[in-house]
Amino acid sequence: LALCSCGGSAQTKERKKKADVPVWYSIPPQDETGVYAVAMATKQSMQLAMDIAKNRARNELSSVISVTVANLIKDHLKEAGASNASVATELSASVSKSLTANTLSGSTLVQQEIYELDQDGDGNTDAYEVYVLMKISDLGKRISDAMKENRAALCFLYTILMSSGLIL
């Protein structure tokens, strides 16, 4: 009896269930042809779920573009010897806004999966869960084109570099 009563309470093992999501959602593709973003939405309307998922993926693409542009501009400023962080921030914000507005119209839906959800167990579809994979191709070329088109930002950068004595 003494041995039995000394034993701790029975430990229950926690069971983990793998989420029923597309493989590409868990591990988005990566290649040199473009930038990918994934998103999902759950709504009662299938169309609304699809639209929201696509918009969320576009927002993610927009974030990637903004960070990429900011890093490119900071790298160019470092190469030129300029160290003014506010210049890089203003310039990257300007180019990012221009690029994001123009580039996201070129985003494409690569894959989409739709799941019907029976949330109350009555056998009827209560909601739709939509997973999307979006892509923007040739991001480097698009950034380069946007920077060329954004003459004001480039002129601003040139003026700053001239005033700092980095360009004669």
Give the angle 58-153-63 at the CA atoms, nearest 5°. 20
Looking at per-residue pLDDT, the higher value among 137 and 128 belongs to 128
Look at residue 95 and give its three-state secondary structure.
Answer: helix
Q: pLDDT value at position 132?
A: 98
Tokens found for residue 160: 């700053």
- Averaged pLDDT score across all residues of the chain: 74
Strand order in the sheet with 108-117: 34-43, 127-137, 108-117
The pLDDT of 110-124, averaged and rounded, is 94
Burial of 131 (0-12, 13-18, 19+ CB in 10 A): buried
Asked if residues 137 and 159 have their Cβ atoms less than 8 Å apart, the reply is: no
The 10s digit of each residue's pLDDT in 9-30 is 555 566 666 678 999 999 999 8
**What pTM was computed for the model?**
0.64
Asked if residues 77 and 87 have their Cβ atoms less than 8 Å apart, the reply is: yes
Asked if residues 109 and 127 have their Cβ atoms less than 8 Å apart, the reply is: no
